[in-house]
Amino acid sequence: MNVIIKAENVDHWYGEDDNRTRALKDISLEIDEGSFVAVLGHNGSGKSTLAKHFNAILTPELGKIYVAGMDTSDKDLVIDIRRTVGMVFQNPDNQIVASVVEDDVAFGPENIGMEQSQIRPRVDAALMSVGMYEMREHAPHMLSGGQKQRVAIAGVIAMRPRCIVLDEPTAMLDPSGRREVINTIHRLNRDYGITIILITHHMNETVGADRLIVMSDGEIIADGSPKSVFTRVDMLRRAGLSVPDTTQLIYLLRQEGFDLPLDALTVDECAAAIYKKFA
């Protein structure tokens, strides 16, 4: 499979001379094109810092990041890199530029100097892919949090990126908004083959991912399928993370002496496992 993002021994520091903190410690990873990767970590684990390296908002102090083969420290490639990797941020209010939904979605294509006749179809298609086409003439401040975040995603989609990095896109949303956004990005991954990198600290959002990377203190402490990562309950606890509710339930049952599989992640799997045990 094609590798879309490749990090080689990346180090990053924050702060000035004396009180510098090392936010990323020798990170190396490869992300396959078309995959759905969740990056999990508590506050200050370096996950957002890593995300900002993926589209050249930050550049590594040591090491290299390659996006589709392009070196992110090369200033001339910045626009191409940002066209390839789009980014959605935490607060939907602070990333919407225009006062009309469709104008905001057009912002990216306008920036890259796309021809006028091509912008409109792209904007419409992007809005349809996130289910916001009917609201295209609304003012963003009249929308709900989940809708605003979907507009922000449409703004990225309109650039036709190969990869979207979402930095805690659901942190400021209510449960229904959270579901809207998570369903939307899963659909984009499935239907359009767009690589998704979802940064989050909600365990439950990582369940549908192909791959789960756990970060703590600037380091990758676990990397694998969600099932294999979540079976290591003790390791996650040490990293200050909880596990999905289903895993928690089975973990507690196991401690009571019931032999249940820890990799039953979805609610259905969990229910089936428990049913089989006690039926």
Residue ranges in contact with other proteins by CB under 8 A: 55, 57, 79, 82-83, 86-87, 89, 91, 93-100, 102-103, 106-116, 119-120, 123, 139-141, 155-156, 159
Contact 252, 260 (CB under 8 A): no
Between 24 and 85, CB nearer to other proteins: 85
Q: How far is the CB of 199 from other proteins (least distance, A)?
A: 14
Q: How far is the CB of 261 from other proteins (least distance, A)?
A: 41
3-state secondary structure of 81: helix
Q: How far is the CB of 21 from other proteins (least distance, A)?
A: 20
Neighbours of 16 (CB within 10 A): 7
Structure tokens at 274: 């428990």
Q: How far is the CB of 91 from other proteins (least distance, A)?
A: 6
Angle between helices 267-278 and 245-255 (to 10 degrees): 20
Q: How far is the CB of 208 from other proteins (least distance, A)?
A: 25
Exposure letters 249-268 (e unless 16+ CB within 10 A, then b) = bbbeeeeeeeebebbbbeee
Between 91 and 204, CB nearer to other proteins: 91
Between 53 and 211, CB nearer to other proteins: 53
Between 18 and 141, CB nearer to other proteins: 141
Contact 14, 21 (CB under 8 A): yes
How far apart CA 215 and CA 217 sit, in angstroms, is 7
Q: How far is the CB of 62 from other proteins (least distance, A)?
A: 23
Exposure letters 23-34 (e unless 16+ CB within 10 A, then b) = bbeebebebeeb
3-state secondary structure of 74: coil
Alpha helices per DSSP H over 94-244: 101-111, 116-129, 145-157, 175-192, 226-230, 233-238
Between 65 and 221, CB nearer to other proteins: 65
Nearest to 187 by CA among 129, 147, 135: 129
Q: How far is the CB of 183 from other proteins (least distance, A)?
A: 23
Between 31 and 241, CB nearer to other proteins: 31
Between 69 and 121, CB nearer to other proteins: 121
